[in-house]
Amino acid sequence: MSRNHRPSFYEFFAGGGMARLGLGDGWDCAFANDFDPVKARAYRANFPDAADHFHEGDVWKLGTAHLPGQADLAWASSPCQDFSLAGARAGLAGGRSSAFFGFWRLVQGLNAEGRAPKAIVIENVVGLLTSHGGADFQALCQALADEGYHFGALEIDAARFVPQSRPRVFVVATKAAPPIGLTGQSPFHSRALIEAQGRLPAHLAVRWVWWSLPAPPARNTDLASLLEDDGVVAWRSPAQTQALLDQMSPLHRRRFDVERAAKGQAIGAAYRRIRTENGVRVQRAEVRLDGLAGCLRTPAGGSSRQMLLVGDGAGLRSRLISPRESARLMGLPETYVLPPSANGALHVTGDGVAVPVVAWLSENLLRPLLAGDFGVIAAE
């Protein structure tokens, strides 16, 4: 593939199409799939050509005949709940994460037909690295090796690009021998990733690639810069705000008050969490004041909705993060069409991949990898 060639891709578990937006106009989407009707409607609302390539339904009901041609890339952001620290940690055998194998059997079928994707990206939560003591990550590496792929991974926090703490693992695999010009040190080789690689058996370690992805420019936005005007959002009642304050630990409340006194304003993102204190489980409101939102989640009840606590000359007030703010925290453009309901919008954004992360990965690794104009490491 030359640099002038428009690479093609399949997007599995596509959600609202955030990976597609990150890859950008220089790529052609040959096929996309998601089983969730809310996400499917969001995808169709944002991509006029969806009728040509988007398939709504269970990945297990797809066959290789649904997949046209040979894609340069297959992107899979498979369901991550079973790997999440907030989930059941069921691993690859879990009901939701087993959707990965629905995707993987398609890769196996394409490989048998001689049209396997040239590269694969599998995106998931950081818990993938340690799930079942690393056995799930090893199983993923084994699956890639069995189909003839070289593979490596990067741990990238969306906070490098947008004011949201959202660490994710991106496993990048290539059929061709790994290019020397794209390997080496990277700020995205985290300690957890290095330890996960170190646990791999020798026959998988020899297929490992340390992808060299450079660090992006320093982020120039913070949470406050993405917030909507006070007059267009719904604020909670004083009693609700007081209840939130009462749920804060003395340490968190003191930090908030110190920030407000020092700067004249304090804006914090808050989640309610269950903590054990003196052997008793209590609900606490934990507020971060580093200019970042916490990791967006899908709405699974009121306790999972992220809130804002604001203290300034006008007093103390609180509210839920709005759907449009959640879209901005994912790097979505203002033109992105969100579902009409708040829960629907947060379902799409909270379960997606940050667009600028995909864009950085595409520009600095995926397109050069597929262009093939680097020297290569001899295949094992």
Question: Tell me: the pLDDT tens digits for 163-207?
Answer: 999 999 999 999 998 888 999 999 999 999 999 999 999 999 999
Q: How far is CA 284 from each of CA 50, 250, 252, 290, 315, rounded to the nearest angstrom? A: 43, 11, 10, 19, 22
pLDDT in tens, 227-247: 999 999 999 999 999 999 999
Grade residue 80 by pLDDT with cuts at 50, 70 and 90. low
- Mean pLDDT, rounded, of the chain: 90
Question: Domain span at residue 237?
Answer: 229-321
Q: Which residues of 279-296 are buried (b: 16+ CB within 10 A; e: fewer)?
A: eeeeebbbbbbebbbbbb
Report helix, strand or coil for 43.
Answer: helix
Q: How many CB atoms lie under 10 A from the CB of residue 100?
A: 26
What's the rounded Cα separation, in Å, for the pair 232 and 348? 22
What's the rounded Cα separation, in Å, for the pair 327 and 311? 24
- The reply to whether 223 falls in a domain is no
DSSP string, 64-95: GGGS-S--SEEEE----TTTSTTS---GGGST
Give, as one character, the DSSP assignment of residue 31. E
Q: Which CATH number is 194's domain given?
A: 3.40.50.150
- The reply to whether 334 falls in a domain is no
What's the rounded Cα separation, in Å, for the pair 128 and 143? 15
**Residue 204 CB-density burial (10 A; 0-12 exposed, 13-18 middle, 19+ buried):** middle
Token couple for 224: 């406050």
Identify the H or E element spanning 349. Answer: helix 342-350
Instruction: Note whether 93 and 35 are same-domain residues.
Output: yes
- The reply to whether 208 falls in a domain is yes
Instruction: Note whether 261 and 363 are same-domain residues.
Output: no
From the centroid of its chain, how far is CA 134? 20
Token couple for 298: 């899908």
Instruction: Note whether 297 and 186 are same-domain residues.
Output: no
Range 132-149 average pLDDT: 92
- The reply to whether 192 falls in a domain is yes
Structural contact between residues 210 and 184, judged by C-beta atoms closer than 8 angstroms: yes
Nearest-10 Cα torsion for 329, 86, 103, 133 = 130
Instruction: Note whether 240 and 178 are same-domain residues.
Output: no
Grade residue 99 by pLDDT with cuts at 50, 70 and 90. confident
Instruction: Note whether 168 and 187 are same-domain residues.
Output: yes
Token couple for 191: 């300690």
Instruction: Note whether 81 and 15 are same-domain residues.
Output: yes
Instruction: Note whether 136 and 109 are same-domain residues.
Output: yes
Q: E strands, the chain, where?
A: 8-12, 28-34, 54-56, 73-76, 119-125, 150-157, 167-174, 266-277, 280-288, 307-312, 315-320
Instruction: Note whether 262 and 151 are same-domain residues.
Output: no
Which position has the token pair 């995926």? Answer: 366
Instruction: Note whether 81 and 151 are same-domain residues.
Output: yes
Token couple for 327: 């879209």
What's the rounded Cα separation, in Å, for the pair 238 and 242? 6
Range 12-30 average pLDDT: 97
Instruction: Note whether 126 and 207 are same-domain residues.
Output: yes
Range 53-75 average pLDDT: 96
- The reply to whether 85 falls in a domain is yes
Percent share of the chain, pLDDT over 90? 78
What's the rounded Cα separation, in Å, for the pair 175 and 185? 21
Instruction: Note whether 240 and 159 are same-domain residues.
Output: no
What's the rounded Cα separation, in Å, for the pair 212 and 111? 27
Domain count, the chain: 2
Instruction: Note whether 250 and 124 are same-domain residues.
Output: no
Residue 376 has pLDDT above 90, yes or no: no
- The reply to whether 342 falls in a domain is no
Q: How far is CA 50 from each of CA 16, 38, 55, 259, 332, rounded to the nearest angstrom? A: 11, 15, 9, 47, 18
